Amino acid sequence: MYKLEVAVLLLISLVPGMAIGDGADMYQLGADATTYAMTELGFEKGDVNVLALTNAGYPVIDGQTTDLCLDAVMEVSGCTPGKENLLNILSPPWKPLWFGFFNKNTGEAVYMKVNADASGFEIQDKEKIDAETVLAKVDAWEPGNFSGMIRFANVWAHENTPFVLMKAAQLHDHICPGLISGFMLAKYVEKELPIEDPANQSYKVIACPNSCKDDYFQIAWDCTPGKSGLFVKSLTASESSGLKEKYGAGISGIFIRWDGSSNAGDGLVLGGNSSSSSTSTNETASWPEWATKLNGALQRMDSADTPENYVTTIKEFHLESAEELQALQSAGVHPLKVLGVM
């Protein structure tokens, strides 16, 4: 009898949508959200022109995890990481569970926010959010429930966007011109200091100053603080303004191609090319923040293959030993002063 009970419990645990106890049916919740989106946006399973976004798997509701919601989204919609049309957005466990879908063919999107006990949806909304439509009516349109989706959707739909940028956006939990600046900086470094010996070489980043850009390097280069790939140091407002006045560009950080076999490295102090990176014109100067950020993000993606339009080299340097690298990374040390930039 005991073996039979175990077998039944195991079978139940493997059936999507079935749950033991009185908790919410998380698989069904994800399936309901996806079915609603497919009906409203008019797409069929497996459509690669549809983007699914959700923070499912991160929120915890009444002690229940929400991972099965993510399974349902993939199985019902056919959107997957492999097709590069599923984004699982990082979220703390106390945040509300939400789902979004965007149809690139029509520019339409739906957004759903789950209510507190996961018994249904507090918000179900539909809107046309493609950049061409919304930027044509900046003064009369507000993103509302789609404020978190609008840049995800339009940057994903851009022809120059690699999926690694969208993976970084999952970590960053939004897309902004700053995160895309990290993408541009990385492409610039990969051109100037390419990895030639993958077994021994890697990138080290000293984020001085730190900003949204630094989340890109964690995904694209596996440069994480835990693996000593990323060190973060801030600048004061007066330091930032003084450096910009001195070099004609805002400091974007220190980037090192480190060779573990020789304990030596080549590095660059990089800045933002302010003359090319400005997204303001007489027309856009009065735009609301949502519009300027969307416009700025898309402008940067237009120049994805020419990062030098947005990045400039302030100083090149060479490190002869691990001690010299440590001298830039250690606590209490100002790396820009050590390098003679300040």
| Angle at 245 (CA atoms; ends 244, 251), nearest 5 degrees | 15
What ranges make up the beta strands (E) of 212-330?
230-232, 250-259, 264-272, 311-319
The pLDDT of residue 24 = 83
The pLDDT of residue 213 = 96
Matching residue, tokens 């999952």: 170
Across 21-35, 69-83, 217-231, least confident range = 21-35
- Structure tokens belonging to residue 173: 């939990």
The pLDDT of residue 22 = 54
Exposed / middle / buried, residue 86 (Cβ in 10 Å: 0-12, 13-18, 19+): buried
The pLDDT of residue 275 = 45
The pLDDT of residue 282 = 56
Name the average pLDDT for the chain: 91
Q: Tens digits of per-residue pLDDT, 297-340?
A: 999 999 999 999 999 999 999 999 999 999 999 999 999 999 99
Q: Can you spell out the DSSP letters for 57-89?
A: TS-EETTEE-HHHHHHHHHHH---TTTT-EEE-
Average pLDDT of the residues in 194-217: 97
Q: Tens digits of per-residue pLDDT, 158-172?
A: 999 999 999 999 999
pTM for this prediction: 0.89
The pLDDT of residue 284 = 78
The pLDDT of residue 18 = 41
List alpha helices for 89-174, DSSP H. 131-134, 150-157, 163-172
Separation in Å, CA 334 to CA 39, 181, 317, 331: 56, 23, 16, 8
Average pLDDT of the residues in 13-38: 75
List of domains in the chain:
23-128 (3.30.1330.20), 177-338 (3.30.1330)
